[in-house]
Chains A and B, each alone.
Chain A
C-alpha cells in the first residue's frame, strides 16, 4: 500500500494537468489569433528575416502564451516566436 502511495505521488495530479491544458487553450480562445492567422504571421516573419539570415523553417515555433509583466497582476497575452538562425547573411550582399 505504501509502495503504491509513493508511486502515485510522483505522478502529477490530474486536476493540475486539466488546469494547465485549460490555460493554454483559453489563451487561443481569448485572443482573436486563430491558428490560420498564426500561420500567416509566421510566413510573413519568415519572409522578413530571410532577407537577413538563413533560418531553419522546420524548427520555427510561433505561439500565443500568457506572460506576467512587472507591476501587473493579471497576465497578458504574448506572441512568442522561436526562430533558429542557421547562418547570418553577409552585410555587403
Chain B
C-alpha cells in the first residue's frame, strides 16, 4: 500500500517536473534564441531574441525608446533594466563572470579602465567608423590602443551666467570674482560646488588654467605620469587656499546647496554642467553658458565626459549586441538620443545640426577639454584629489604646498 503511494507521488513529481524541465530547456538555451524551426526558414532578415541592457535613471527612458526603434529594425527586443548609477559598473564586474550579467551596459566613460582591468567588456568594431566621431569621444573610449565602447553623447561643465544679474563676463577669473562681489544682492560671486569630500571635477577648469592637468599627454593619449605634481600644481593649490580664505569656495556648499543658491539668484555665476540647465530654464531664469575665464593665464579645459554603451565579454548573444552597437552609431539613433537626453551627440554628423544655444555654449566651453582619464591609475587620483583640495580650502591643511605634494606622493605610491 505504502509503496504504491510512493510510486504515485513519484509519478506526480515526474509529471510536474516535466513541465518545469521544459521551461528550463528554453530558458537555458536563451543565447541560441527561438528554436522554432519555422522561424529559421522564414525569409525575413530580422533576427529574434532579446538583449538585456543596464542603464541608470537618467538614461533609461531614452534607451527604452531607442530599443523600440531597434526592435523594429532588427527584430531583437531590448530589455532595458534600471540600475542606480553607482551600481552599474560595480555589479556588472561582479556578475558578468557568472554569466548572469546583462549583454550591454550604458555608463559614463570614466569607468573604462576598471572594466578593462577586470576583463568584463569586449572590444568592438570601430576602426571603419572612427573618423565619423568627435576625436575627444574616440579618445575617451580608447585604452591600450583599442576601442571598447560606442560613444553616443558628450558633456562637460562650463560657466553658467544669470543674465538678470550680469550681462557681460570679463576675461579672467579674478576680474570675474571682483565683478561678482559688486553685484547687489548676490551672496556669492560664483558658485562652485564642493561638499565635505571635495569636488575636483568642478574645480578642474580652474586647475587646468594653471597648466596643471592631472596626467601628461603623449600623442593625444594620457600617460601614467602626473601633470599636476610640478610648480604649476602648487600655484593652483595656493590659489585654492586664497579662494578658501576669501570665502569664495566653501566645503559647506554641496551640489544641492549650490544649485539652490543659483536658483534663488544669490549668485551671478555657477560652474556646472548641462544636467541642471533644464531646471534653471524651467524656473524661468535667463541664462547663458560660457567658457570658464582663466585664473592662471592658460585656457581653462574642463573634463569631457562621454556616454558609452559597452558589450559584455560574457554575452551569450554577442552578435545581436554588436548589431545594437552598429545601430547606436547611426545618425538616427544619435539624433534620437540627443532629442531624448539633451547632450551633444558624439557622432559629428548629428552634432553638426545642434541648435540649442545652451548645448552650443557647453560645446564652446569644452573646446579645449580633454576626456576624463580612464587609466586605472585614475582611481588613485580620485581617492586623494578632492579630499586634499577641500582640506586646503577649509584651512585644515595650513600649508597648501605641503598638502599638495603629500597628495602627489600618495597618488604615486599607489601606481
- Indicate whether A and B interact: no
